[in-house]
Structure 1
Amino acid sequence: MLGMTKASPRSNTVFVMGGSTGIGRGIAQALLGAGLQVVVFSRSSPTDQPGLEGVIWRPIDLTDPGESRQRLDAAVQEFGSTLDAVFYSAVYYGPKRAPLLQVSEQEWRDQLNVNLHGLWLTLAATLPALRLRTPALFVGVSSEVVYNAGPNRSGYAATKAAAASLLDSLAQEEGPEGVRVVQVLPEKMVDTAGIRQRRPATFDYSDYMTPQTFQSITLNLYNSRGEGFHGDSLVVGHNGDAWRVEEAPPASQSKQSA
């Protein structure tokens, strides 16, 4: 079990990729509440949403790699001198679970561009700035599919597993005194706008986690800059507690309704 770290944050900037909805929104809310300058990258504006008043929004559509590269480079030019943490929560799942041959090539490419290539673009743009603020922090939001490949979600599973491997490799390159790389993932399903689009109107979400569940681990990792957890993947439980995935891997969700 991981305890809270009490280190005080420095005055700085944090990027949250995919911070307008879902887990990214919970992360952005926690960082903003801690008094940090938070820049959210997303397709839709988060600034009129409760709890996100005061964030800086930079529009981005990661399904367009060329434009995304330009927007990320511009943001680093603008905020790079104070950037010392990045949270990558952008994700593309698709409209529903489906067998491989029922998934269009465009959907597969969108999953690649958001879940994997968007992560690569973000790393390429931000690592030089983060390395000037060491110890700095890069957090990727992972998924149980990395550990539980299942039917009817092959593209999502493949891209999330590749993203996790990318960050695992980067952690070995950087070392704990440089840019600390940590991954977090939910123990159970999370009640998000994307999930609600794939569920019937009468679906019961009472057993689902919420994006706010990630706020404790967000502040813990940010305040310590991930000290002691470099290279780890942390499972976040229903009550906000967290543990290393080696201690108790998450259960598969592949048999739940789409």
Structure 2
Amino acid sequence: MDRKDHRLDGRVAIVTGAAQGIGRAYALALAGAGARVCVSDVTEPTETLAQIRELHGEAIGVVANITDQPSLEAMVARTIHAFGRLDVLVNNAALFGSLRMRPFPEISNEEWDQVMTVNVRGTWQTIKAALPALRQAGGGSIVNISSATTFKGSPLLAHYVASKGAIVGLTRALARELGPDKIRINAIAPGLVMTANVQEHADWREAKGGIVATRALQRDSVPEDMTGVMLFLASDDSGFMTGQTIVVDGGVVMH
């Protein structure tokens, strides 16, 4: 790989939810900056792996469920077996693209619980599974994914907005606990990003124009818009930052 970015040379990263969309962009960016990457998802991340290898990057693919602790522990074990260490965890996996926009009284208890289980408990469980390896490496960086909807109070997705607000709180609480281990934990809060799933979703196709109109930078957001901030948080460039949430939404929320 002929690359100019060497800031993650020698580092090892796990990206959850990396079979497509923003997660794939994160995995490609990490590999492009020199990291060896475990690409994880609930389905085989075949295409993401192929793209990394086309660029002569090093990666393994692991099928894992972030709500299942043995599955997560196996993911971390496979990463250590392949690459010997773990330095970076990007908690990208979440429920979003399949959710329909509806008033909160119309959200079923079952759907509410599913969103909280995946988006909040899943992130927490993944951090728990990765913690021993991060400690063994002498520290590292965790990048959580929140959402700009948390700061806007966006309507019609109450369960999703609440789950991503919980990620901000979790990030702050764990920053206090993990600081002594030299493990930093920060979050990215994207606005609406036009992944393939989002483009195919009727609700978001209808809402997109109004969202773009509220941005200071009035254009669609694409997955690659998120990778610069992710690399900053994953690398030593942000070595004295922890507990922070950075909004990347084109200037809707000025946080």
TM-score w.r.t. length of structure 2:
0.80
SS of match in other structure, 1:139: strand
Matched residues, number: 232
Change (3 A) 1:79 1:225: farther
Q: CA RMSD in A?
A: 2.7
| Structure 1 segments (4+ residues) deviating >4 Å | 200-206
In proportion to residue count, which structure has more helix? 2
Q: Are residue 215 (structure 1) and residue 242 (structure 2) matched?
A: no
Query: Separation in 2 of the partners of 1:116 and 1:202?
Result: 26
Letter paired with 1:51: Q
| Percent identical residues | 28
Q: Which runs of 5+ in 2 are unaligned?
A: 210-217
The answer to whether structure 1 residue 111 and structure 2 residue 123 are counterparts is no
- The one-letter code matched in structure 2 to 1:40 is V
- Segments of 5+ residues of structure 1 without an aligned counterpart are 1-5, 250-258
Superposed displacement of residue 18, structure 1: 0.9
* Structure-1 residue corresponding to 2:152: 148
User: Greater shift after overlay, 198-207 or 39-48?
Assistant: 198-207
Residue 46 of structure 2 is matched in structure 1 by 47
Q: What secondary structure is seen at the aligned counterpart in 1 of 2:138?
A: coil
Asked whether 1:71 is paired with 2:109, we answer no
**Contact 1:171–1:231 at 8 Å: present in 2 too?**
yes
1:21 aligns with 2:15: no
User: Which residue does the alignment assign to 2:214?
Assistant: none
Q: Is 1:190 aligned to 2:193, yes or no?
A: yes
Q: Distance in 1 between matches of 2:22 and 2:8?
A: 21
Q: Note closer, same or farther for the CA distance 1:74–1:202 as it changes in structure 2 (3 Å cut).
A: closer
Flag the 1:120–1:202 CA change in 2: closer, same or farther, 3 A: closer
Q: Distance in 2 between matches of 1:201 and 1:12?
A: 36
Which stretch shifts more, 44-53 or 75-84?
44-53
Give runs of aligned pairs for residues 1-258 of structure 1, distance below 5 A: 8-49=7-48, 51-53=51-53, 55-62=59-66, 65=67, 68-80=68-80, 81-93=84-96, 94-175=98-179, 178-186=182-190, 188-199=191-202, 207-224=219-236, 226-236=238-248, 238=250, 248-249=254-255
Call closer, same or farther: CA 1:196–1:135 in 2, change over 3 Å: same
Query: Residue in 2 aligned with 1:256?
Result: none
Cα distance in 2, alignment partners of residues 139 and 195 from structure 1: 22
Distance in 1 between residues matched to 2:200 and 2:121, nearest whole Å: 25
| Cα offsets for 1:98-147 (capped at 9, x unmatched) | 11222223322221121001011101101121122233000001101222
SS at match of 2:238: coil
Q: Secondary structure at the match of 2:95?
A: coil
Instruction: State the Cα deviation string for residues 175-202 of structure 1 (Å, max 9, x = none).
Output: 276100111122x321013312323797
In structure 1, what is the Cα distance between the partners aligned to 2:117 and 2:205? 33
1:173 Cα deviation after fit? 1.5
Aligned partner of residue 180 in structure 1, secondary structure: strand
- The match for 1:255 is none
1:196–1:78 CA distance, 2 compared to 1 (3 A): same
Letter in 2 for 1:211: P
Give the letter aligned to residue 25 of structure 2. Answer: G
Give 1:86's aligned amino acid. L
Residues 72 and 42 from structure 1, CA distance in 2 versus in 1: closer, same or farther, beyond 3 angstroms?
Answer: same
